[in-house]
Amino acid sequence: MILVTGATGEFGKHAVQQLREKGVSTSDISVLSRSEEKAISYKEDGITVKTGDYTNYDSLVKAFEGVDKLLFVSSSEIENRAEQHQNVVKAAKATGVKNIVYTSFMRKQETDNSAIAFLMDSHLKTENWIKDSGINYTILQNATYLDMLPIFIGEQVLETGVIMQPAENGKSSSVLRQELAEAAAVVLTSEGHENKAYPLVNNQAISYNEVAELIAEISGKNITYKSPSPEEYQATLKTYGVPDEYIGLFTAFSVAQANGELEMSDNSLEKLLGRKPTTAKEFLTKVYV
């Protein structure tokens, strides 16, 4: 039995779909949700819905009974993530889960001075907890989501004609969330991935200046890229009423990109997919045509 956590989120939905496309029977798939109501579509398709919450260890123990392989989708609650993830690993060990596939994050460094150290810390801890548990594992060190790019660019970019991010000339090796979920499904349905860590990145990295040029080419409109200081950027977002937590996240990822932390070259994703991942140009063409 394969259990997919975070099944009502975008990554989880794509993962379940990919498992089914790879021939896994619905009777061999179960999903974890905080409530049955949120996962009713799975139940209608014949997939077992188990209720559980990362913050509730006992609910996880109950949900993990009979599970052989666990697709452990990382929590989106960054502040509480470490405690939640520790519950998941402990529950998996207590119930005899045989294999954990964990969605971590790509990294080129593990130092405290990283712009996204607050994000990396819980991932590093979780990877170590999984390794120390004695459970067979595969760590998927996912790149940033390519499909999040329009949010960073701004929904009104065609009207404003400006992309503003403090990312300087840094590049990002972003990947479509759907393709990262497909890679997870490949790992869950094939052999030879035990106790390995895969950096899942797009070798065709892209900068915001190149993004601006591409959107201009695709849309026929004049699009420019400006890279203000992080302080200027934050002040501008405040004038638009953007919540502080989002301002912090957007700034951190852009500074990380400026520092070269989001660019990496690795062929693991291409090997798992059996093809090259979707490029930023291909994705942007569909969005801004």
Give residue-wise pLDDT tens across range 23-61: 999 999 999 998 888 888 998 888 999 999 999 999 999
In the three-class reduction of DSSP (H, G, I as helix; E, B as strand; rest coil), residue 80 is classed as helix
Question: What average pLDDT does the segment 118-136 reach?
Answer: 94
pLDDT at 5 over 70: yes
Question: What average pLDDT does the segment 254-271 reach?
Answer: 95
* Contact yes or no for 7/47 (Cβ under 8 A): no
CATH at 40:
3.40.50.720
250 falls within a domain? yes
pLDDT at 150 over 70: yes
pLDDT at position 112 is: 67
pLDDT at position 288 is: 87
Task: Give the domain extent around 244.
Answer: 143-174+202-263+278-289
pLDDT at position 289 is: 80
CATH at 229:
3.90.25.10
Measuring CA to CA, which residue among 213, 215, 190, 216 is closest to residue 273?
190
pLDDT at position 119 is: 84
Measuring CA to CA, which residue among 170, 199, 21 is closest to residue 107?
199
In the three-class reduction of DSSP (H, G, I as helix; E, B as strand; rest coil), residue 288 is classed as helix
Q: How far apart are CA 68 and CA 9, in angstroms?
A: 22
190 falls within a domain? no
In angstroms, the first-to-last Cα distance of the chain is 42
For residue 121, the Cα-to-chain-centroid distance in whole angstroms is 15
pLDDT at position 210 is: 97
Measuring CA to CA, which residue among 89, 80, 118 is closest to residue 5?
89
Measuring CA to CA, which residue among 107, 42, 96 is closest to residue 70?
96
Question: What average pLDDT does the segment 113-121 reach?
Answer: 85
pLDDT at position 152 is: 92
Q: How many residues does the chain have?
A: 289
221 falls within a domain? yes
pLDDT at 2 over 70: yes
Residues 249 and 285 in one domain: yes
186 falls within a domain? no
Question: What average pLDDT does the segment 156-180 reach?
Answer: 96
Q: How far apart are CA 79 and CA 60, in angstroms?
A: 20
Question: What average pLDDT does the segment 49-74 reach?
Answer: 96
Residues 206 and 110 in one domain: no
Residues 16 and 157 in one domain: no
What does the DSSP 8-state code read for residue 235? H
Question: Please, what's the b/e burial string for 211-239 (b: 16 or more CB within 10 A of its CB; e: otherwise)?
Answer: bbebbbebbeeebebebeebeebbeebee
Q: How far apart are CA 238 and CA 133, in angstroms?
A: 44
- The model's pTM is 0.94
